[in-house]
């Protein structure tokens, strides 16, 4: 879920010189691998929208399209690993589940993770980046990035948990 530009913690924009498909083709060529129709369909499906997803959700999306039905489960898992290695996707493990998000063309950002509903809220903090850089300098460490996932309970789930029982709950 991207936040709007009026928000202090909005992600902003990153301009890229090639499409995810072109970038993946270059990666595959560098590894001596072919660009197959299944890989093309998979990349198109992944980059059609910006959502966090797991392999099963992607397989479900691919199964809904006629082209996607030809992409096997093994191909999906292999291609996800390749997309991570190519720098197009980032993989996170949440509650033992591998979740993917776009990495290529998206700025450095962090996440709030609701442990009740598994919602992921993206945010960017200049203060956090400054702190990371200061700690790196103090330890003579060249920082190349970071990953922060703050766990807790979102407002919707917190409201459900602390809501007083209503007569409708008994129906």
Binding region for Fe cation: 110, 146
Q: What is the DSSP letter of 90?
A: E
CA 56 to chain CA centroid, Å, is 14
Q: Which residues pair with 91 in a beta bridge?
A: 100
Instruction: Report H helices in the chain.
Output: 20-30, 37-47, 55-64, 73-85, 126-138, 155-161
Which residues fall in the annotated binding site for Zn(2+)?
114, 117, 154, 157
Which residues fall in the annotated binding site?
110, 114, 117, 146, 154, 157
- Residues shown for the chain: 171
* HSE-CB for 78 with a 13 A CA cutoff: 10
């Amino acid at each position: 879920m991207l936040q709007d530009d009026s928000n202090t913690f909005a992600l902003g924009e990153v301009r890229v010189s090639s499409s995810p498909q072109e970038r993946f083709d270059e990666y595959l060529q560098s590894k001596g691998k072919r660009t197959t129709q299944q890989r093309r369909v998979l990349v198109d499906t992944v980059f059609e929208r910006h959502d966090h997803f797991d392999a099963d959700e992607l397989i479900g999306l691919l199964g809904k399209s006629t082209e996607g039905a030809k992409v096997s489960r093994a191909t999906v898992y292999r291609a996800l690993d390749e997309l991570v290695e190519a720098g197009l996707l980032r993989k996170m493990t949440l509650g033992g589940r591998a979740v993917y998000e776009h990495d290529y063309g998206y700025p450095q950002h962090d996440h709030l993770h609701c442990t009740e509903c598994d919602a992921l809220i993206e945010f960017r903090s200049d203060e956090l980046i400054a702190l990371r850089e200061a700690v790196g300098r103090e330890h003579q460490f060249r920082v190349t990035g970071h990953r922060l996932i703050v766990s807790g309970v979102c407002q919707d789930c917190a409201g459900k948990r602390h809501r007083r029982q209503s007569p409708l709950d008994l129906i």
